[in-house]
Structure 1
Amino acid sequence: MRKTSSPFSLNRLLACAATLALAAAPALAQDKPVQLKLSSWVPAQHPLNPALQAWADDIKKASNGTITAILFPSEQLGKAFDHYDMARDGIADFAYINPGYQPGRFPIMAGASLPFLFANGKGGTAAIDAWYRQYAAKEMKDVKFCFAFVHDPGTFHARKKITVPGDVKGLKVRPATSTVGQLITSLGGTNVQASAPESRDMLERGVADAITFPWGSIGLFGIDKVVSYHMDVPLYVTPFVWAMNQSKYDGMSAAQKKVIDDHCTTEWAEKVATPWADFEYGGHAKIASQPGHEIYKLTPDQLEAWRKAAGPSEAQWADSVKKVGQDPKAVMDSLKASLVKYKSAL
């Protein structure tokens, strides 16, 4: 004769089934809400900001709404120079970092701003991100590296025409990065330190005579009002990093961490950087259409002179990389191979 299940055993069975159903449900449904502070030092109308917002919106969707974010542009949370430390210290949960604003602190990444490497910003972003991932955990150990990216190549914009390296002698130049600053110094120029938002004022007051900057941002930051001459050559790019506060990441659930990891990839680096790359590329035509501006190309001999002039900067960079226990040739060969792979090598 078969036994009939007691109400007690039936209740236990139902309870077990409910527990199993909960365990099978997406972990995200049980995660605690997390709100992220995203810090960007460029002005609100800069094309990077909508791209970062779109990135954050996709994280919200992928986390079933458990991870939300507020974007603070225009240095609201702190100065451009301070963004790495802001991410480290939790002033921002994610921060937009220009490693070149702190000379000597990130010697490996500084190699990416050596002259005459990058042909474009889109493939260049994929190339720098894929390359730097092997070094980021050591060189930027205070933060969680998310991705790296570059703008479309920039050049000299000045009050006077600069055609050969000797023209830099005696000039006061605001360099985009410490690596470009080494080039200026080696040519007899003087570096004037200023973040992008401070640059127009420096030029307007005569504190600087020239600036290295990408094309679209010349108009965005109002620098086109104070410089007239523009060298038409892809001289350099500025490498950037989007980094997270490590403690904020550590405090997330495993499922939430996976969402962040899925949004800290080379593919996402390219998605975020592409609108900015397009904007900077388009700036060339905008400057060309303005009266009072001269955009000039270099002759082959002039271009070769600039390439030779960049030699000491690469030697200085190599010395700095040796000091942190890396082989500069291997580092640079790896970067160049990545540039070729992503069709962004000059």
Structure 2
Amino acid sequence: MPISRTVLRLSAVAVAALAFAGALQAQDKPVQLKLSSWVPAQHPLNPALQAWAEDIKKASNGSITAVLFPSEQLGKAFDHYDMARDGIADFSYVNPGYQPGRFPVMAGASLPFLFANGKGGTAAIDAWYRSYAAREMKDVKFCFAFVHDPGTFHARKKITLPTDIKGMKIRPATSTIGQMVTSLGGTNVQSSAPEARDMLERGVADAITFPWGSISLFGIDKVVSYHMDVPLYVTPFVWVMNQDKYNAMSAAQKKVIDDHCTTEWAEKVATPWADFEYAGRAKLASLPGHESYKLTPDQLHAWRTAVAPGEAQWAEGVKKVGVDPKQAMDALKASLVKYKSGL
């Protein structure tokens, strides 16, 4: 008995429907990521993070999308590690130095006079810290580490020697720099970057350690006039992910995330910011009433001598968590040499 055209048509529709259902089943479930950044919306880090997220969307065939929340919209800068741990954000931009003693190995990267630049410095710190991240940041999935271009002292008065710090109130960038300030007779005034201008304006702090371009970005150029032109320190940062969010993804989606949590991506994300901070040197030097000044060889030697004990202090903290400080510091310095970013 011949099969009618209607039956054939219905069979074709049924096959197509089954094929479509199978294709849907094979597709990854849509995932939307909340990315949290505590710097202001106009900060150069934010567009770089958005470009990173767009590349993830493309690589996942649209199954992973993201929304960036800048300017502490999801929580305070100090809380960003815990926000990633607890799922308040799926990815968080973290300054480990905001929580003294919590990340002792990473604190070594903010010891003075280590980093010459931000680009190679980012590759160096990321490649180095991968050996320690799973242990030191076990509450989250580590994605990558990065640094800004080296920062320095910006103050109401000229600072040329370590002895100038005695009696000053200084907002340090990290706990390691805070220890340096204390050892030189200064007083630490804690604040996140977004709160720093207000503290200086009210006289709660006399000086700040900060990268160059961000001085103008955060309006701090309105309250400090003297800028010590030396690569004093960098602040190490990490970009971390909520582990449960990662675990819930498909194998294909996990691979996309892993492919975007690399040293290469760390450098891509950090480069626009590094360029921005480097350009800030010339900008501040050109402002009326501002003075950017170099140190003499003798002054620089005095600084290196004065801050040298900081490494021993850092080493004691690292020993307490069962890590060999000499091995860790030697590895960091070797990485800095490899990526042409050591002083």
TM over 0.5: yes
Q: CA deviation at 1:143?
A: 0.2
Q: CA deviation at 1:304?
A: 0.7
Residue 5 of structure 1 corresponds to which residue in structure 2?
none
**What are the within-5 Å matches in structure 2 for residues 37-52 of structure 1?**
37-52=34-49
**What are the within-5 Å matches in structure 2 for residues 106-255 of structure 1?**
106-255=103-252
**Counterpart residue identity of residue 271, structure 2:** T
CA distance in 2, matches of 1:132, 1:114: 15
CA offsets 1:313-341 (integer angstroms, 9 cap, x no match): 11110000000001100000000000000
- Of 303-312 and 56-65, more deviation after overlay is shown by 303-312
CA distance in 1, matches of 2:307, 2:261: 33
Secondary structure of the residue aligned to 1:217 is helix
**Does the alignment pair 1:259 with 2:252?**
no
Residue 99 of structure 1 corresponds to which residue in structure 2?
96
Residue 321 of structure 2 corresponds to which residue in structure 1?
324
**Counterpart residue identity of residue 123, structure 2:** A
CA distance in 1, matches of 2:227, 2:24: 55
CA distance in 2, matches of 1:267, 1:77: 28
Q: 5+ residue gaps in structure 1?
A: 1-10
CA offsets 1:250-283 (integer angstroms, 9 cap, x no match): 0000000000000000000000000000000000
**Counterpart residue identity of residue 208, structure 1:** A
Secondary structure of the residue aligned to 1:193 is coil
Q: How has the CA–CA distance of structure 1 residues 66 and 163 changed in structure 2, closer, same or farther, with 3 Å as cutoff? A: same
Spell out structure 1 runs of 4+ moving beyond 6 A.
none
CA offsets 1:80-128 (integer angstroms, 9 cap, x no match): 0000000000000000000000000000000000000000000000000
**Does the alignment pair 1:78 with 2:75?**
yes
Pairwise CA RMSD: 1.7
**Counterpart residue identity of residue 321, structure 1:** V
CA offsets 1:44-83 (integer angstroms, 9 cap, x no match): 0000000000000000000000000000000000000000
Q: 1:35 aligns with which of 32, 35, 44?
A: 32
CA distance in 2, matches of 1:258, 1:114: 35
Secondary structure of the residue aligned to 2:65 is strand
- When normalised by structure 1's length, the TM-score is 0.93
Q: CA deviation at 1:310?
A: 1.1
Q: CA deviation at 1:26?
A: 11
CA distance in 2, matches of 1:22, 1:281: 54
- Of 34-43 and 303-312, more deviation after overlay is shown by 303-312
CA distance in 1, matches of 2:306, 2:321: 25
**Percent identity, aligned pairs only?**
85
Q: CA deviation at 1:312?
A: 1.9
CA distance in 2, matches of 1:301, 1:26: 70
Secondary structure of the residue aligned to 2:255 is helix
CA distance in 2, matches of 1:26, 1:316: 57
**Counterpart residue identity of residue 115, structure 1:** P
**Counterpart residue identity of residue 197, structure 2:** R
CA offsets 1:192-235 (integer angstroms, 9 cap, x no match): 00000000000000000000000000000000000000000000
CA distance in 2, matches of 1:308, 1:251: 51
CA distance in 2, matches of 1:203, 1:336: 34
| Alignment: residue pair count | 329
CA offsets 1:4-45 (integer angstroms, 9 cap, x no match): xxxxxxx9xxx9xx98x999x899x61100000000000000
